Amino acid sequence: MRNFAIVGGVMLATLLTVGPVARAQQPAAGQAAGQNDEAKPPRPGLEVPLVTPGPGWKACPHCENEAYKMEDRKKANVDKRAFDAHDISGIWNGNPHDLEVNGMPLDMKARPPFTPYGKKLFDANQSDSEQWNSKDPVNICDPMGWPRWITYNFGFQFVVLPDRVLQFIEWGHTWRDIWTDGRELPENPPIPRYLGYAVGRWEGDTFVVESNGYDDRSWVAPTPVQRVGAERPGGYPHSDEMRVEERYKRLNYGLLQVTVTVIDPKVYTAPWTTTGTVTLIPNSELGEHFCVPSDSISFNNQNTIPTVAK
């Protein structure tokens, strides 16, 4: 059991260091995902055994390869199955073009210019190295915050309750409360939160979430590690006055349209909006994927930092 935990920790630390690269390789929002599929090697299929904890247990979304996800979606008849437009429950990950994509990347082409204050924050986030994102708060297991967690999560799950919607996130093994009991957002939140304060309501068949009160130590999104060239990686900042609006619409049983708008006049000159579609991953259950500081720091000290050119 301990050996499994050590392996898991190394995998986690590896993801922390190469995560920005992986994100950079994902299709950008608005880009025709899968357009280079012919150049990619074949992916593993159903011939690879599916590992679960035991009988009656299910694999986590990112523990299944694309073939298993496609098979489960086919068995669930996700394209033609009747659905309740006001029920967004389920585990969501990937997109219609690539079921193995992790999260929904923000649309970088839609990013508005920085304000002078925002540019100052952005410059301060630039890495000390071109080869890894040395200032990324996630390196030391600080919470990703919102909306970064929507861009990189290993799958999330909506659970609808009478007075709130719970959004569980595998990466970091955390959740957020989206209150639907009629309360309003606090005008002056007393304590900043990495996941903010969130309230939700229905507008027709669209679930609208508004949130504020964010801890400004998190990033909206990281910039990619280029590995070559003069550009140093870093992160897109936000202030404690940031507001985020999300709009979720179930297009059919197996597809959920997601629109995320970052509103932060102190940092960006206009709202920053991203729209994408995520897919239902039936016959799965979220795993436990903690960021373990001791594993992360040890991995970076032993493997990442020594490889950075002096």
State what percent of residues in the chain have pLDDT above 90.
Answer: 72
Query: Can you give the pLDDT at residue 24?
Result: 34
Work out the average pLDDT over 13-25.
39
CA-CA-CA-CA dihedral for 93, 257, 28, 95, to nearest 10: 40
Residue 107 corresponds to which amino acid? D
Query: Can you give the pLDDT at residue 4?
Result: 35
Contacts of 85 (CB under 8 A, 6+ apart): 205, 249, 250
Dump pLDDT digits (tens) for 136-179: 999 889 999 999 999 999 999 999 999 999 999 999 999 999 99
| Cβ–Cβ under 8 Å, residues 168 and 157 | yes
What are the structure tokens assigned to 124, written together?
């301060």
What are the structure tokens assigned to 165, written together?
């919607």
| pLDDT level of residue 293 (50, 70, 90 thresholds) | confident
Dump pLDDT digits (tens) for 58-109: 999 989 999 999 999 999 999 999 999 999 999 999 999 999 999 999 999 9
Q: Which residue has the higher pLDDT, 225 or 298?
A: 298
Query: Can you give the pLDDT at residue 22?
Result: 37
Q: State the CB neighbour count (10 A cutoff) for residue 226.
A: 15
Residue position matching structure tokens 């985020």:
244
Q: How far is CA 25 from the centre of its chain?
A: 15
Query: Can you give the pLDDT at residue 206?
Result: 98
Pairing mode of beta strands 164-169, 174-179: antiparallel
Cα 38-64-291 angle, rounded to 5 deg: 110
pLDDT of residue 8 exceeding 60: no
Q: What are phi and psi of 128, to 5 degrees?
A: -75, -10
Answer left, alpha or beta for residue 219, where phi above 0 means left and psi between -120 and 50 means alpha.
Answer: beta
Q: Please state whether the peptide bond connecting residue 190 to the residue before it is cis, i.e. omega within 30 degrees of 0.
A: no
| pLDDT level of residue 304 (50, 70, 90 thresholds) | confident
Pairing mode of beta strands 197-203, 174-179: parallel
What are the structure tokens assigned to 20, written together?
């920005």
Residue length, the chain?
310
Residue 254 corresponds to which amino acid? G
Dump pLDDT digits (tens) for 220-273: 999 976 555 557 899 999 999 999 999 999 999 999 999 999 999 999 999 999
Query: Can you give the pLDDT at residue 227?
Result: 52
pLDDT of residue 303 exceeding 60: yes
Query: Can you give the pLDDT at residue 228?
Result: 53
What secondary structure, in 3-state letters, does 26-57 show? CCCCCCCCCCCHHHCCCCCCCCCCCCCCCCCC
| Cβ–Cβ under 8 Å, residues 60 and 271 | no
Q: What is the DSSP letter of 289?
A: B
CA distances from 221 to 100, 106, 161, 237, 284 (A): 20, 8, 30, 8, 27
pLDDT of residue 192 exceeding 90: yes
pLDDT of residue 310 exceeding 50: yes
Domain ranges of the chain: 2-307
What are the structure tokens assigned to 1, written together?
């059991």
